[in-house]
Structure 1
Amino acid sequence: MLRRMGNIPVKSDDNENVIQNEKLKQISVRGIAQVEDVNEIKAGFNRHLHYTLIKDRNIATAHDFYMALANCVKDHIVSRWIRTQQISYQREPKRVYYLSMEYNMGRFLQNNMINIGIEDACDEAMYQLGLDMEELESMEGELHLSNGSMGRLSACFLDSMASLGIPAYGYGIRYNAGAFTQRIIDGEQHEDVDDWLRLGNPWERARPEYVFPVHFYGKVANSAIGREWVDTQVVYAVPHDYPIPGYKNNVVNTLRLWSAKSTEGFKLKLFNNGDYIQAIFDRCLAENITRVMYPTAANTYENQEIRLKQEYFLCSASLQDIITRYKSSKVSQTDTGRTDFTNFAEKNIIQMNNTYSAWIIPELMRILIDVEHYSWGAAWKIVNNSCAFTNHNILSVSLEKWPVELIQKVLPRHMEILYQINFFHLENLKETFCVNLDTVYGLSCISNECFDMAMLGVLGSCAVNGVSKFHSNYLKNFTFSKLYELEPEKFLNITNGVTPRRWLFLCNPTLSNVISEKLGDKWPVQLEKLESLRKLCRDNNFMRAISKAKEDNKQKLVETIHKKYGIEIDPFSLFDVQVHKIHEYKRQWLNILHIVTLYNRLKYNKNYSPKQCRTVFIGGKAEPGDKIGKSIIKLITSIAQIINDDPVIDGKIKVIVLENYGVTVAEEIIPCADVSQHLTLPGSEASGTSHMKFMLNGSIIVATLDGAILEIVNEVGHVNMFIFGMNFDEKKELQAKGYDPMEVYKQNADLKQCLDQIRSGFFSPRNLDEFSDLVDRLLTKDEYFVLADYEDYIHTQDLVSTTFEDKKKWNEMVIRNIAVSGRFSIDRTVREYAKLIWNVEPMTEALPAPADCDKILN
């Protein structure tokens, strides 16, 4: 068993004198645990083991020990959590409400220990109790309620808002089953239910006393005071709260996730009469809203209906919660007792992420008009000033358009409001542009009997932003060009970022220590300090320290890979990583073709003798309904098996397919990568934050000029990255001329050999035709221009290999990449939101020191 002492592994069977000497020689930059703190943790741990879990050491499992420690850590968070809310209610600051359908929080335990500054005390306490901290941390499941990068970005936002002291709530859905667990069986992806709540979650606190009713279906009728939504079906939204502690500033914000609960109880009469199914049918139907993460909208009408209900459920419940909190504020009070909403935007800003949360706009209009009896103009002004919209997608397929018929069925009153919004929008266009009716109606929110939710998000917001300069310009020039002409001041750019707390300080302690020795301990919240590392890029001692950190990380990963997959890999090989969603637009095809090209050189070209081995890691999930994505996974695993077992290659190239890629696996892989691949065709990626995580950890990027890569190139320079392929304008030009992938295939002998091998069954000897359709699709369609970029990509990968041989040059590039990473901190992103959109101020100066929190509460 290894003990994690700060960041230095020490064998637990060493005698105590050796351990104490090591403590003195190798002091962790995170500090030394005080005896009283360690004793307090031990006492809290034992208390929870006995009184919360009702276990003793004789019968407790490893998961019980994890639960006891997690509850102990939560004890240290709670006083800060309550005090943060007390200060907010006293000061009544403007609050940010961050709505997202997806959250990928990963594991909480280590992150929470680090953020409240008790990791060393917990580590020492567990060691004294004879427990392995790393084993306890591995017992925790991931809160992975996300299908892609949106969920991880949302988690970074919450971490940053808390660390910067910004009063904020996150809102989402507590899906009973999160993102599926991926299993690779016989080379194929299989999906298991992610039953993340099976063993309970120590971090959540249910708040059944704060339930809100959410309405569906029904009809709209006239009443004495206006339009009334009646005869609805009601589902209760039950909140579950998670603490989000800031980094060592005593601020603890809240993530509130909603679960659906039926208003119908168990129908005992039906049950007693023998109708067992009907006794629970209505209840199950209502609670299906949050049972499983939203399905792909295009699958079936039923799936569309569930997804629409999920989106509205989130927006309605969250808005009721926001309004309830606002009604308790002083600025909302009037002498008549009626709530004054004219100051609503002064105290609340609702950040809508993607089109999923745009239902906030018609829902707030409904409440203001039907319930609070404001005029249309007054209500629209309040909505417009209190909502902001971030578009996170560049592909049109990701911009939701809901069938009018479905909205009319599920949300009839909202459909009326949407018609009115569209009417006033068109009237404004006619007045502003003075064009003919055909042109105006071509800009309608409604087309082909569907309502455009992206346009709704723009129309109903005070600000609209993209998530990289390239993406924001694309929104202005293409996606929302006419709306941009109408209100150019509304559009702005705020480039995404990543949290350095989890994506360097937590996941890569060896590198963190090297950096802290040079910069001190403030850089996790002041990542711009990394800029000063530029002057050390040719410092031999610092270069050796950076290189040693990478070597240590790689050695640990080698052991993990061997234990999990039974594959031996060379720790000194070039670790080449591509970890993304498996989809055609991510262009894993290029990576596949490069792997096969290297394999052919090694196997058939006796003159080819590379100076270093290469280990290629590929990870990611395909959507359950994406047959092409699943075929790509099968192809990768088939190629990996042939190459890894070929004695002629002698391990010079190994391919590792990472199963069930998520936050926990990312924390293992990212610190070890020498090269990180980002291969999307320009115009496909809005921003992309995975490359920011990799460069922060000293990986060199192989990428196209897509998304935020353009900004990274401007910071670090072309010479410190590996850029390949056509740019956006060149892609458009090739599209206009006409692109024939078959011609490229015929003209490049290496490419032709690779594709012929795959199609002929060379990599699938048990089913020779297994990948023929996949290859034919690439040769006839190739909508992402894989073959057009193949030659330049192979040339660039050859340059990667040549450069990696020059260790001094490589390490200099690594340091330069780390140094510019401060520009891509999520803290910079959130500060820009706070200044340019939210107009909010941090409140950290009002919070007490950690030791005083409990005293104040008492």
Structure 2
Amino acid sequence: MSTVFKDAITFKKAFIEQVEKTYAIDFKDSSSYQQYVALGTLLKEHIADDWKETKKIESDKRQVYYFSMEFLMGRMITNNLMNAGVYDVVKQAFNELNLDINEIEHKETDAGLGNGGLGRLAACFMDSVAALALPVHGNCIRYRYGFFKQKIENGYQVEYPDRWLKDIHVWEVRRDEEAIDVPFYGHIELSVIDGKLNVFHRNAEYVKAVPYDVPIVGYNNQVINTLRLWSAEPSDLYQNQGGTFDYHKKLRQISEMLYPNDDTDEGKILRLKQQYLFSSAGVNAVLKKHKKQFGTLDNLAEKAVFHINDTHPTLIIPELMRILVDEEGMEWDHAWDITRRCVAYTNHTILAEALEKWPIRLFQPLLPRIYTITEEINRRFEIELKQRFGDYAKEVESMQILKNGMVHMANLAIVGSFSVNGVAQLHTDILKEIEMRDFADYYPNKFNNKTNGITHRRWVLQSNPEIVEILKDTVGNEWIKDTSKLEGLAKFANDPVIQKRYEAMKLARKQALTDKIFKEQGVKLNPHAIFDIQVKRLHEYKRQLMNALHIMHLYNELKSNPEIRKQFYPQNFIFGAKAAPTYWFAKKVIKLINTIAEKVNNDPETNELLKVVFVEDYNVTYAETIMPAADLSEQISTASKEASGTGNMKFMMNGAITIGTLDGANVEIAELVGEDNIIIFGLTAKEVTDLYQKGSYQPYEMYEKDPRIKRVLDQLTNGFFTNVPRNEFEEIRRNLLDRDVYLVLKDFDSYVAAQAKANKLYQNRPTWLKMSIMNTAKSGFFSTDRTMEEYNKDIWHLTKIK
């Protein structure tokens, strides 16, 4: 390890030299961005020896390769400085140079490698496994463009390219020598020579997958794991079958953008190409390294776990079989035994429509050998099922991998793995008892639960300096490595001194968010008001719409009743969300929220009491300011629809009170904090499921029965909003009255009561502050350090790096 960071004097000298040497300018003329690049470069060089040493130590150990289509890392500079233990040295040196460390840190662009919760969770996992010294490495695609940059224009979301790679990605190291050629299309020829099956992939269109490695720095332990990002580039094996220009255009698309629109056949093919590219390249690279180390693949299951994060990397299973059978010449049963002992699968969705399936008519020509292997896996599994249940049993139909002209990826992932886990207790129970019941009955020991978590080092230590000081003075600093120590804060819940400090902490964080919103969007919020925040992906089941309708109801009440105005404590409603570019209804909800904001924020009669803001381009960096500022955490999904949620945990750890349904990890939050420290409303998961099964719900009856609902729904189309056409929100009104699939109107009354309770509770400061402190005290369970220890104990069985 270099000595550059040993003290502020040494670092200052090296830092100035690095800037001047890199950019051939005097240091005084350098920009904040140039200073950021120099800082990142010095830090990467500083950890290089540890990275090399980590690889050497773990080379003969059992390792995990964690495959995810998303790793939403956010800015890495602060995290890396803190985890490497050099943040204070840099900060002192920058103070002496009269540089603002925060300004330099913010010159790093958020890596555009994800969209939402799935990717942020994977990033938290990477932080925790490195902190716990577990040999776990990520695999993803090196997308040139992120999901998109969001702008709000005329109240609507408009997408702009997120060119996050336009500048230097200071952390990555290109590994040309480890590139893998990946075949698409062509046809398969089989022949038997000397009793052995030989497989030839003819006329394939090859794409070269080039790896870029990014270091993941463990917290104060000198362990450096690797996140490997695969880039699609021209292959030397390309044979100009369809024209060079067309080839280059198509291969560029593979690693161009996360989640291309798959409404068309072209989009579906592109997504499949992405999934096979990083699955195939990742597996091939691991197997090459393994064979070089051990001389055989017979012991692969003892040394490697391929962990599939959601169904996107499921092609790992047939790809492993292809290598073991076609290239290594193994018998099918031996190869299948190894494969099934190597692969573990995490399911992230309860929604049946979100479980991936691909048309065979597209899958087969694109991946001819992978298809024939998948077909054989399905054929053998079907025989097994028929022997057990009979030829025409419902289980045979429900559990097949190939059916109705589709490849069912979740079924393939379950059949080809040794472990299947959900991500919250309720989610896992629903998988086992409802959505995947036949599989759970067939494989009684395969399903398990691993409740999600967050990395407290980013979401508290890095994001909330005031709470860090409070924790230091109450429970010490051990919580940074062991979040169970946060429990010690509970005994201070009624302490007036700590309550005052909690109040001051919240005010400081709310002021920081207020300043950011005003600077970026010109909306002035009252930092002393309640900060009621809902930030997450925009989806109907997450019910941002219910939140919006409640604000309309609240506005009606405040306008019409002076007595309510007197009793109501000022409340800021803050939203942040991106809607998928083709999800028109979600975009219409964003338009509604912004239209409500325009109306209520400009009404002098109520705008001291009620403000609404939809923050533009919500991302990880924005979240670092938002999460610590919340008083009230909106977790209001329809019960039984949210697998887990992790925003709920980030808010909780920073002392926000959850207002939510008993859905996802809210169930476990409620159990931990107790009913006095959370605000629960709405139907339970069982009540929702029963309602669906009966088919008896009539949303129009709610409209006729409840005058509050009738009023707000009528206001959507009766000219109440003067700056939009009267029919602007007709689609929302019709959707709620005709279908209301996510039971917005059914839970509306309960939500209104919960909101009124929250507003009243907030005014009782000692009670609210006690609740806030208790939420932090009980949040230690939701660290990904705990989650990763559970994955390791129950699934991976790794030895820690010493």
TM-score (norm: length of structure 2)? 0.96
CA distance in 1, matches of 2:63, 2:6: 37
Q: Deviations over 1:562-614 (max 9, x none)?
A: 22222222111000000011121110111111111111111111221234210
Write the letter of the residue equivalent to 1:770: E
Which residue among 285, 294, 307 is the counterpart of 1:321? 285
Which residue among 361, 371, 384 is the counterpart of 1:428? 384
The structural deviation recorded for 1:284 is 2.4
Q: 2:87 is matched with which residue?
A: 119
| Distance of aligned partners of 1:513 and 1:230 in 2 relative to their CA distance in 1, 3 Å threshold | same
Write the letter of the residue equivalent to 2:352: S
Other structure's SS at 1:106 match: coil
Confirm or deny that 1:808 pairs with 2:779.
no
Other structure's SS at 2:333 match: helix
The structural deviation recorded for 1:85 is 1.4
Partners of 2:398 and 2:438 within 8 A in 1: no
Partners of 1:803 and 1:809 within 8 A in 2: yes
Other structure's SS at 1:236 match: strand
The structural deviation recorded for 1:761 is 2.9
Q: Deviations over 1:231-282 (max 9, x none)?
A: 2111100001111001111111010000000126999x99xxxxxx966432
Which residue among 241, 245, 255 is the counterpart of 2:227? 255
Which residue among 391, 398, 402 is the counterpart of 2:354? 398
The structural deviation recorded for 1:287 is 2.4
Q: 1:21 is matched with which residue?
A: none
CA distance in 1, matches of 2:361, 2:620: 39
Which residue among 43, 47, 66 is the counterpart of 1:77? 47
CA distance in 2, matches of 1:727, 1:94: 42
Write the letter of the residue equivalent to 1:724: F
> Where do 1:98-497 residues align within 5 Å?
98-223=66-191, 224=193, 225-226=196-197, 227-263=199-235, 280-297=245-262, 299-329=263-293, 332-333=294-295, 340-434=296-390, 436=392, 440-497=396-453
Farther-moved stretch of structure 1 (54-63 vs 113-122): 54-63
Partners of 1:215 and 1:232 within 8 A in 2: yes
The structural deviation recorded for 1:764 is 4.2
CA distance in 1, matches of 2:424, 2:481: 22
CA distance in 2, matches of 1:406, 1:218: 13
Which residue among 752, 756, 780 is the counterpart of 1:822? 780
Write the letter of the residue equivalent to 2:406: C
Q: Deviations over 1:685-706 (max 9, x none)?
A: 1111110010000000011011
Farther-moved stretch of structure 1 (762-771 vs 382-391): 762-771
Q: 1:26 is matched with which residue?
A: none
CA distance in 2, matches of 1:438, 1:738: 26
CA distance in 2, matches of 1:344, 1:93: 11
Gaps of 5+ in 2: none
Other structure's SS at 1:761 match: coil
Partners of 2:644 and 2:665 within 8 A in 1: yes
Partners of 1:41 and 1:72 within 8 A in 2: no
Q: 2:26 is matched with which residue?
A: 56
Other structure's SS at 2:98 match: coil
The structural deviation recorded for 1:434 is 4.4
Confirm or deny that 1:714 pairs with 2:671.
yes
Partners of 1:237 and 1:259 within 8 A in 2: yes
> Where do 1:586-735 residues align within 5 Å?
586-608=542-564, 609-735=566-692
- Superposed CA RMSD in Å reads 1.9
Q: Deviations over 1:435-486 (max 9, x none)?
A: 6467524532222100111011000111111111111111111222112111
Partners of 1:263 and 1:283 within 8 A in 2: no
The sequence identity of aligned pairs, in percent, is: 38
Partners of 1:466 and 1:472 within 8 A in 2: yes
The structural deviation recorded for 1:186 is 1.7
Which residue among 830, 834, 837 is the counterpart of 2:792? 834
Partners of 1:569 and 1:651 within 8 A in 2: no
Q: 2:16 is matched with which residue?
A: 46
| Distance of aligned partners of 1:364 and 1:798 in 2 relative to their CA distance in 1, 3 Å threshold | same
Q: 1:15 is matched with which residue?
A: none
Farther-moved stretch of structure 1 (442-451 vs 406-415): 442-451
Other structure's SS at 2:766 match: helix
Q: Deviations over 1:353-384 (max 9, x none)?
A: 11111100000000000000000100000001
CA distance in 2, matches of 1:156, 1:278: 43
Confirm or deny that 1:585 pairs with 2:536.
no
Partners of 2:455 and 2:783 within 8 A in 1: yes
CA distance in 1, matches of 2:200, 2:243: 31
The structural deviation recorded for 1:144 is 2.8
Other structure's SS at 1:523 match: helix
CA distance in 2, matches of 1:144, 1:104: 7
Q: 1:738 is matched with which residue?
A: 696
Other structure's SS at 2:112 match: strand
CA distance in 2, matches of 1:36, 1:404: 59
| Distance of aligned partners of 1:324 and 1:36 in 2 relative to their CA distance in 1, 3 Å threshold | closer
| Distance of aligned partners of 1:531 and 1:216 in 2 relative to their CA distance in 1, 3 Å threshold | same
TM-score (norm: length of structure 1)? 0.90
CA distance in 1, matches of 2:74, 2:712: 38
Farther-moved stretch of structure 1 (607-616 vs 740-749): 607-616
Other structure's SS at 1:197 match: helix
Aligned length in residues: 794
Partners of 1:741 and 1:782 within 8 A in 2: yes
Write the letter of the residue equivalent to 1:807: R
CA distance in 2, matches of 1:704, 1:443: 32
Partners of 2:206 and 2:237 within 8 A in 1: no
Farther-moved stretch of structure 1 (826-835 vs 520-529): 520-529
CA distance in 2, matches of 1:404, 1:189: 35
Q: Deviations over 1:731-757 (max 9, x none)?
A: 123231511111101111112111111
| Distance of aligned partners of 1:816 and 1:232 in 2 relative to their CA distance in 1, 3 Å threshold | same
Partners of 2:205 and 2:238 within 8 A in 1: no
Write the letter of the residue equivalent to 1:744: M
Partners of 2:141 and 2:230 within 8 A in 1: yes
Farther-moved stretch of structure 1 (684-693 vs 596-605): 596-605
Write the letter of the residue equivalent to 2:515: E
Write the letter of the residue equivalent to 1:258: W
Other structure's SS at 2:27 match: coil
CA distance in 2, matches of 1:166, 1:356: 24
| Distance of aligned partners of 1:439 and 1:633 in 2 relative to their CA distance in 1, 3 Å threshold | closer
Write the letter of the residue equivalent to 1:785: L
CA distance in 2, matches of 1:219, 1:449: 20
CA distance in 2, matches of 1:126, 1:251: 27
The structural deviation recorded for 1:36 is 5.2
Write the letter of the residue equivalent to 1:211: A
Confirm or deny that 1:506 pairs with 2:462.
yes
CA distance in 1, matches of 2:496, 2:525: 28
Write the letter of the residue equivalent to 2:552: V
Confirm or deny that 1:515 pairs with 2:498.
no
The structural deviation recorded for 1:507 is 0.6
Partners of 1:264 and 1:282 within 8 A in 2: no
Write the letter of the residue equivalent to 1:85: K
